[in-house]
Amino acid sequence: MTKMAASIVEHGEDAFRKLFKFYKRRNPPPDLRDVIDFSKMVKHEKVFPTELNPGAVSDAEARRAGLRPIRDWTAFGLQGYPGFIFISNPFLPGSQQHWVRQCLKTYPEKPNVCNLDMHMAPTETQDIWGRSADTLRKTGSRVREPKTLLEKLRWVTLGYHYNWDTKTYSADHYTPFPSDLHSISGHVAAACRFPGFNAEAGILNYYRSDSSLGIHVDESELDHTRPLLSFSFGQSAVFLLGGTQREDPPTAMYMHSGDVMVMSGHSRLLYHAVPRVVPAPKGDPLHPSLEEEGPGSDQGLAQGEATLIQPVSEEDWAVCSGYIQTSRVNMTIRQVLGSGQAFPAMDTKDKRIDMGQMDGYHDNQDGENVGLKRRRSDS
């Protein structure tokens, strides 16, 4: 640890909040030398290679989902965080683009739920992509007012829609989970030795260059023996992984485009946060893995082999690439119920759905979650 970061955590009390503020700071910008970069892993005292289950998914199944054969994945563990697995970009060249397009064009569509629904009429939040694409295509990521709907998007929920107010999922607020995302989640979980993972809920987070995500634990899911999966695309970010107590100082690491994180076992219920998006150098705004060409429309598949990954048209990619030149998209995928488990019966009068009050994804400047609001901030 550099002297700078060490002097911050020395103080002990609520070390997480202090490091969150350290990494979130704008002026002067923080020293990022202590941030672990798994893509440049030569040797790090806390990092060790982790063996996945190479036979969990056939090469053909992996390829169908846009993933390299599992035996080619690079996966790491972190000393002191059993159950935490970091997979450095397991995607096939050209296939991250599918997920970016899904996050920007497909998943924000109804019946999925997004932050804009909290304060806009249903007719106004239809076709977010269609209402934004032309402007974004023409002007790219230039700062411009008014912002397009896509630029105002902060979160989308899938499957069992997370209720930010009550911090619960419920049986009666469910819409079908996207099948492509269900498949890839099952493959990643299986590779990490969690066969039978059933993706039931997703929270997609959309970050502009000044966004952050406050300190929290994901504990609303009913079965904590199932892992939490996280997929990142676009701009890199600093991720802080803490302990079971707020006082435990966190470890900082980069998440780059294509990286996948798995929080399971002991690490399933640890405090974590995203204090900072780390924009790419000006002249080179897209991560190299997003510039890679795919195998073309046949996806390199044998004849008759169906694919989950749809090629992204040039027209669509013009919008997507403009957006992620300054933004980051993250998908966190959860299994809510254990196999055979059901939601506990609920007294109907306790079902408080108060959409009107929930416009929030704000935290205060310390990374604290404010009441029941979404712990987000765009400084």
- Count CB-CB contacts under 10 A for residue 262: 26
Closest to Mn ion by CB, 136 or 274: 274
- Kindly tell me which of 304 and 371 has the beta carbon lying closer to ligand OGA: 371
Could you give the string, one character per residue 242-261, with x where binding to ligand OGA holds by CB under 6 A and - elsewhere?
A: -------------x------
Which of Mn ion, ligand OGA, none interacts with 213 (beta carbon under 5 to 8 A by kind)?
ligand OGA
How many Å apart are CA 9 and CA 124, to the nearest integer?
Answer: 46
SS3 content of the chain, % helix, strand, coil (to 5): 25, 20, 50
* Residue among 230, 247, 222, 245 nearest 167 (CA): 222
Distance CA 275, CA 369 (A): 13
Tell me if 87 sits within 8 A of 62, measured CB to CB: no
Name residue, tokens 């205060």.
364
Q: Is the CB of 261 or the CB of 319 nearer to ligand OGA?
A: 261
Applying CB under 5 A, the residues found at the interface with Mn ion are: 218
Residue closer to Mn ion (CB basis): 218 or 223:
218
Based on the shown chain and the rule CB under 6 A, indicate whether residue 262 belongs to the binding site for ligand OGA: no
What residue number has its CB nearest to Mn ion? 218
Binding mask 93-122 for ligand OGA (x = CB under 6 A): ------------------------------
Q: Which one of ligand OGA, Mn ion, none interacts with residue 274, CB within 5 to 8 A by kind?
A: ligand OGA
Residues counted in the chain: 379
- Which 268-327 positions form the footprint of ligand OGA (CB under 6 A)? 272, 274
Is 366 annotated in a binding site? The answer is no
Binding mask 173-212 for ligand OGA (x = CB under 6 A): ------------------------------x-x-------
For residue 369, give every residue at least 6 positions away whose Cβ sits within 8 Å of its Cβ, in sequence order, or none: 214, 215, 216, 363, 375
- At residue 172, the 3 state secondary structure works out as coil
CB of 296 to Mn ion, least distance (A): 36
- The entry of ligand OGA, Mn ion, none near residue 326 (CB within 5 to 8 angstroms by kind) is none
Kindly state the number of chain residues that form the binding site for ligand OGA, as judged by CB under 6 A: 12
Q: Is 272 annotated as a binding-site member?
A: yes
With CB atoms as reference, the residue minimizing the distance to ligand OGA is 330
What is the helix (H) or strand (E) element at residue 240, kind and residue range?
strand 236-241
- What does 106-147 look like in DSSP terms, one character per residue? ITTSTTSEEGGGGTS-GGGGS-HHHHHHHHHHHHTT---SSP
Binding residues: 216, 218, 272
